[in-house]
Structure 1
Amino acid sequence: MENDIVGSDVKKFQRKIWFDVSDLLGYFPDNRTPTGIQRVQISIIQSILSGSESEEIALCQFLEDENGWFLVDPDRFVKVSTLSLMGSDARDLVWRREVSTLRQEAMAERIDAFPLRSVLINIGTSWWLPNYFMHIREAKKKSDIYYIPFIHDVIPAVVPRFCAHELVHEFIDWFMGVVQHSDRYFAVSEASKKDFLALATELNAGIPSADVRVVHLAAEKKTVSVPTAAATSLFRREGIEPGKFVFFISTVESRKNQAGALDAWQNLIRNNPKLPIPKLVIVGKRGFESHFFLEKLATFIEAEKHIVYIESVSDEELAALYSSCLFTIYPSYYEGWGLPITESLGYGKVCVTADNSSLPEAGQGLTVTYRTGSNHDFEEKLLSLIKDRGHLSALEQHIAENFQARHWETIAQEVLAFAHAVQEGAEQTKKIEPVLESAYYPLNRNRQLKISSDLTSAEVLRDGSGWHRLEDFGSWTRGTGARLTFTVAQPCNRIAIQLKGIPSSHCEVTVSANLAGSSTKLRLNPDEEAWCFLDFDGDIAGKKLNIDVYSREVETTTNPETGHSRVISVGVCGVYLFDKTNANARTDFIEAKLFDLLKYKKMKKLLCTQ
C-alpha cells in the first residue's frame, strides 16, 4: 500500500519518479533570468511535463524552515519557469505575483512520505540547503527511496580559489553527504564524472564508475529569425550593430574570466590601430569577485565605443545576440559543461574557448581553442577570425556540416530511462547506518577547504527531523526530542554526550539510550557547555544504539543565516566513545577535556554500511 500523504488527493502522490525543484524555487524570489544550472533544470523538466510521460512524475521541494518536503504543482511550475525565460525584469509585478503564488501553494501540501521505492532526482544544486540530507535519510527510512543527484561540476573542491570560502565549506559538506546518500548519479560531462570519482576516491568512498551516468547537455540547432521588437530595442539602446560584435554570456565572476576578455580587447585595439575591432558584448549577472571585471571596465579606454555590458536579457534578446554576432568567446578557467559553447554552435556560430576541463566536450571539436592561461594564444585566435572573414565563414560551414544536434527531449528520456532502470533493478536502496570507533565526533559544520582522506562528517548520526541545521558549535534540537543513532565498532561501555544550554534560560535535559543502564539527567545554565555520561551494563560493541536527547525548555531565536525566527532547545556539540580495552581511556578524556584538546583532535573515520 502506498504511504499516505497529508493535505492532497492521493492520486497526485502515486507517481514513482519525483523531481526536486528546491533549487529553482529558492532562486526565483530574488532572481528571474536563469543561469546555466537553472536553465538545464527548466529545460529537462518542461520537456518531460510536455510529453507522454508527464503522468509518471511529480515535483517537490524541501523547505528548511518548514522542516520537510512539499508538493509543487507542475502547471504552476511551468508557468513560472516559462515567465523566467520571457523577461529579465525581476521587479515585474506579474512575475513577482506568480512566484509568490507558486511558493504559497507549494507550502500548503506537505509530503509526509513518498510512495514506496520512489526515485527522487535532483537536477539542481542542494549544497546551500541545511539539513537536506537529514531529510533524504528520513525519506529512505520511511519509503525506501532511491536518490539520484546531478553532478554539474565539482568546482569548489577542484578550483576553490574561484569560490568564496563559505561556498567551499558548504560544498565539501554537501560532497560528503552526496557520496553517503546517493544510490546513483548523473554527470553532465565525462570531465565532471572523472573529477567527481577522483574526489570520491580521495574520500575513500569507492563509487563504481558504472554508478555515474553521463548525460551530455543539449546542443539544439537554432533557427536564425528576424529580431523581435524587444531585441531591436535592446540593440538600439546599447548601440549594438548586427554582424559587428563578438558575444560572451556567463555569470560575471573571476572563474569565467570576463576580466581576461577585457584585457584581450584592450590589446587588440592597442596593437592593431588600423584594424576595426568589433565590439565585445558581455551579458551576465554579477557573481563572485565580479568587482575585478567592473573595476577593469571602469578604466577601459573608450569603453563606450568598444564594450557593452548587460546584466540580464530575455530569451528573445539572447537569441538575437547569438544570431547577430560575428562569433562568441568563452575563456573560462574551469567548467562542468559549458552551455554557452553548446548554444553558440546551435546558432552556427564559432566559439573561441579555452582548452580545459569539459570545454572540449561541449565544443564537439568544432570550436577554436587556445591554451588556457596563454593570453597571447587567445589574442592570436581572436585576431585570426577578425582579420580573415573567409576563415570565419569556412569554420561556420564546418559547424553547419558536422554539428551534432541534441535535444532536451532526448536528455529527458535518458534521465527517465536511467531512473526506471535503477528502480526496476530491484537492488536495495542505500541505507545510512553509521559505525563508530572510539573517538570524538563533533556535530559541527565543515570548516575545511579541501577534501582529503581523513575528512568525515558526524552529521549522519542525527536521526529523525528533530534537529536544526549544523552550526560551528554543533546542532540545536527542536524541543520535540532528538535522536542520535549509530553502531559501536569496538568494545565500549561508556559514551559521553557534549551538550549546550539554550542562550537565555536554564534547561533540564534528559539523555537516554535504548540499552540497559543508560539514562541521565542534568541542568544546564544559559549557554553552558557540559558533558553527560551514559554507562552501560555491558559491552555494547556491535549493537545499534539510539540516544535520545530531550528538554522541554525552548527559546525563540533568530536563525543566524536566514534571519527567520525559530524555536530551539538544548544543543548537541558532539559524541565521545570510550575504548573499553584502554585502561587509560577515562584519564585521556579528562586530560583532553581539561586542556580543550578535543576540538583539535582529528576524529577517526566514520564508517557507513548499507
Structure 2
Amino acid sequence: MLCVAPLDAAHDHRLVFGAWLEWLRRRDAASVPDLVCTGAPGWGAEAALALLDNAPTLRGKVHLLPGASEAMLDALYRQCLFTLHNGGPARWSGAVTDSLAHGKPVLMPAAGDQPPGGGLLHFEAGSEPSLLAALEALSSDPAALEQARVAIVPLRPWADVAADIMAEAGRLAAEAGPTPPLPLRPGYRTPLRRLRHRHQHSAMAVAETARAGTQWHALEEWGVWSRPGAARLSLPLGEGMAGALHLELDLRGPPQDQAVALQARRKGGKALPAIEVVLPAGAERTVTLAVPPGDGAVEVLLDCARAVPLPEGLRVGIGLRALCVARDDSMEDRLAMLESRRFKVVEALPRG
C-alpha cells in the first residue's frame, strides 16, 4: 500500500502507523501488506517516527522513501493495491488525483458531503479502529477492491490539462487590451524580486509585468535571472514620460564572467545602438541606458549569448535586481535617481 504525503501533523502518520502495528499484533506478519510512505518528515512527525523507532515489527513493514523520484512514484503507483490518504475529511491533494489517474482506489477519511464511489473509499476520520477495519476488509476482499477500481472515472492526463490552460491563457492574452502604464515613480528604484508582503501593492505588479516573454526565470529574494539568449523588459509609462529618459538597470553577474548586450528603444520606434557590458563572476553593477523620446512603451533587450550553469542546475544569462527611470529634463528626477543608487532609502512600499 502507498501513502504519498508529508510526514506531518496534518496527515497524522501516528494514526496510520498505530493501525499497522495493531494489524501486526492480530495477524501473521506475512499476511499484512507493506506500507510505503514517500513524504519527508515535517512539523509534528515526532510521534509517528518515535513509534516507528520503538517497534521493530513495524519497521519491517513500514518503509520511508522521502524524495522519491517521479519514475519511482510511477512504479509505486502501478504496483500498490491502493493508496492511503489521511489528510483530514476536508483535504484533497494532488496525491489523490494522481492515484485515481493511475487507476488505484484511495482510502481516505469520510467527509459529510463526499459519498464513497468513483474510486474513493472511506474510514471514520481520526479513528484508528475504523481505519484498521477498512484496511483489513480491502486487503482480504479482492472483489471489493476491483469494484472500487472499476468505479474510477478516467481522468485526463496532466499534459492535456496543461495544454488547455496554456491555450486559454494565450487566447486571453490575444484578446487583452494594451497594458496599462506601470506605476513607476521617476527617480526611484523599483525592485525586480519576490516581495513578501501581506498586502498587494504596485511594486509586486511591476516586478511581474515588466518581464516580458518567456526568457526569464522565476523571481527570487534578491532579484531575477534571465534565461540564455535575448530577454526583454517592457515598460509602458504614464503621462509626462514621452520625452528622452535615462534608464538604470542594477545587474548581477552569474558565477562565471558574463557579457551582455543591452539595447533600449520605444515600442514601434528605432532602437539605439546596443552597448556591451562584461560583468565579472558574481559582480553587481549599475548600467545606464539612454531612451529616445516617443509615445510607445520602453523596451529593453538583455542579450547573453552564453549560458552559465548555477549550482542548483539552472542555466542563466544575467541577473537583474532593480530598475530606475528618470526624465532627462528633470533635475529632480536625476537627483532622486542618484540618491537611490548611492543611498538605501527607507520608505514604505506603496499599496496602490
What is the TM-score with the length of structure 2 in the denominator?
0.60
Match of 1:237 in 2: none
Q: In structure 2, do the counterparts of structure 1 residues 332 and 594 end up closer, same or farther at CA, with 3 Å as the change threshold?
A: same
Q: Take 1:427 and 1:501, find their aligned partners in 2: how far apart are those partners?
A: 31
Counterpart mapping for 1:235-246 below 5 A: none
Does 2:207 align with 1:461? no
Q: Report the secondary structure of 2:127's partner residue.
A: helix
Give the structure 2 partner of residue 31 of structure 1.
Answer: none
Q: Of residues 313, 324, 328 in structure 2, which corresponds to 1:576?
A: 324
Q: d(CA) in 2 for partners of 1:592 and 1:339?
A: 50
Equivalences for residues 146-545 of structure 1 within 5 A: 247-250=1-4, 253-254=7-8, 257=11, 259-265=13-19, 268=22, 275-276=26-27, 279=32, 281-285=34-38, 287=40, 289=42, 292=45, 295-296=49-50, 298-304=52-58, 307-309=61-63, 311=65, 321-322=80-81, 329-332=84-87, 334-337=91-94, 338-339=96-97, 342=100, 351-353=107-109, 355=111, 360=114, 367-371=121-125, 377-383=126-132, 385=134, 396=144, 400=147, 404-408=151-155, 428=174, 433=179, 435-439=181-185, 440-444=189-193, 446=194, 448=196, 453-454=200-201, 455-456=204-205, 458-463=207-212, 472-475=222-225, 478=228, 482-492=231-241, 493=243, 494-500=245-251, 502=253, 511-514=263-266, 526=280, 527-532=283-288, 534=290, 537=293, 543-545=296-298
**Which SS does the other structure have where 2:184 is aligned?**
coil
Alignment deviations for residues 308-341 of structure 1 (CA, whole Å, 9 cap, x no partner): 327587989866742xxxx863202543351477
CA shift, 1:513, in A, is 1.9
Residue by residue over 1:364-417, the C-alpha shift from the partner in whole angstroms, topping out at 9 and shown as x without a partner, is 59632444xxxxx32242255479x69x98x959x9599854235x789x9699
Q: Percent identity?
A: 13
The Cα shift of 1:596 comes to 1.9
Query: 1:43-82 residue pairs with structure 2 within 5 A?
Result: none
Task: Note if 1:559 corresponds to 2:310.
Answer: yes
Describe the superposition over 1:255-290 as per-residue Cα deviations: whole angstroms up to 9, x where unpaired.
Answer: 883733445337857xx97x5598463224454649
Contact 1:474 1:573 in 2 (8 A): yes
Structure 1 residue identity aligned to 2:285: E
Displacement after TM superposition at 1:595 (Å) = 2.6
Superimposed CA distance per residue, residues 205-232 of structure 1 (whole angstroms, 9 cap, x where no aligned partner): xxxxxxxxxxxxxxxxxxxxxxxxxxxx
Secondary structure of 2:34 counterpart: strand
Q: Could you tell me how far apart the structure 1 residues matched to 2:75 and 2:323 are?
A: 56
Corresponding residue for residue 7 of structure 1: none
Q: Amino acid of the residue matched to residue 281 of structure 1? A: D
Residues 226-248 of structure 1 deviation map (CA, whole Å, 9 limit, x = unaligned):
xxxxxxxxxxxxxxxxxxxxx34
Higher normalized helix content (fraction of residues): 1
Taking a change above 3 Å as real, the CA distance of residues 315 and 563 of structure 1, as seen in their structure-2 partners, is closer
Which TM-score applies when normalising by structure 1?
0.39
Q: Deviations over 1:116-139 (max 9, x none)?
A: xxxxxxxxxxxxxxxxxxxxxxxx
Q: Are residues 487 and 288 of structure 1, via their aligned partners in 2, closer, same or farther at CA, if it must alter by over 3 Å?
A: farther
Match of 2:18, SS state, is: helix
Contact 1:251–1:285 (CA under 8 A) maintained in structure 2: yes
The structural deviation recorded for 1:562 is 0.7
Match runs of 1:77-88 below 5 Å: none
Larger Rg: 2
Q: In structure 2, do the counterparts of structure 1 residues 291 and 593 end up closer, same or farther at CA, with 3 Å as the change threshold?
A: same
Question: Any idea what the Cα deviations from partners look like across 1:66-110, whole Å, max 9, x if unmatched?
Answer: xxxxxxxxxxxxxxxxxxxxxxxxxxxxxxxxxxxxxxxxxxxxx
Say what the alpha-carbon RMSD is for the aligned residues: 5.8
Matched to 1:513, the amino acid is R
Give the secondary-structure state (helix, strand or coil) at the position aligned to 1:260: helix
Paired with 2:230 and 2:76, the residues of 1 have a C-alpha distance of 54
Equivalent residue number for residue 349 of structure 2: 602
Question: Secondary structure at the residue paired with 2:205?
Answer: coil
Report the counterpart of residue 68 of structure 1 in structure 2: none
- The one-letter code sitting in structure 2 at the alignment partner of 1:512 is A
**What code does the residue aligned with 1:330 have?**
H
Matched residue type, 1:534 = A
The 1:490/1:328 distance shift into structure 2, 3 A limit, reads same
Aligned to 2:341: 593
| Counterpart Cα distance in 2 of 1:453 and 1:288 | 33
SS at match of 1:283: strand
The answer to whether the 8 Å contact 1:332/1:354 transfers is: no
Once the two structures are TM-superposed, the CA of residue 487 in structure 1 deviates from its matched residue by 1.3
- For residues 114 and 342 of structure 2, the distance between their equivalents in structure 1, rounded to whole angstroms, comes to 56
Q: Which runs of 5+ in 1 are unaligned?
A: 1-246, 372-376, 606-610
Shift of 1:532: 1.6
Which amino acid in 2 is paired with 1:562?
G
Does the Cα contact within 8 Å between 1:249 and 1:340 map onto a contact in 2? no
SS at match of 1:500: strand
- The structure-2 alpha-carbon separation of the partners of 1:296 and 1:438, relative to structure 1 and needing over 3 Å to count, comes to same
Question: Any stretches of 5+ residues in structure 2 without a counterpart?
Answer: none
Local SS of the residue matching 2:236: strand
For residues 469-493 of structure 1, give each alpha carbon's deviation from its aligned partner in whole angstroms, at most 9, with x where no partner exists: 7663443575x65532231134224
Give the corresponding residue for 1:35: none
Q: Measure, in 1, the Cα distance between the counterparts of 2:77 and 2:127.
A: 24
Q: How far apart in 2 are the matches of 1:364 and 1:500? A: 54
Q: Look up the SS of the partner of 1:435 in the other structure.
A: coil
Q: What secondary structure does 1:367 align onto?
A: strand
Cα 1:328–1:476 change in 2 (3 A) is closer
C-alpha distance in 2 between matches for 1:401 and 1:562: 42
8 Å contact kept, 2:2–2:80: no
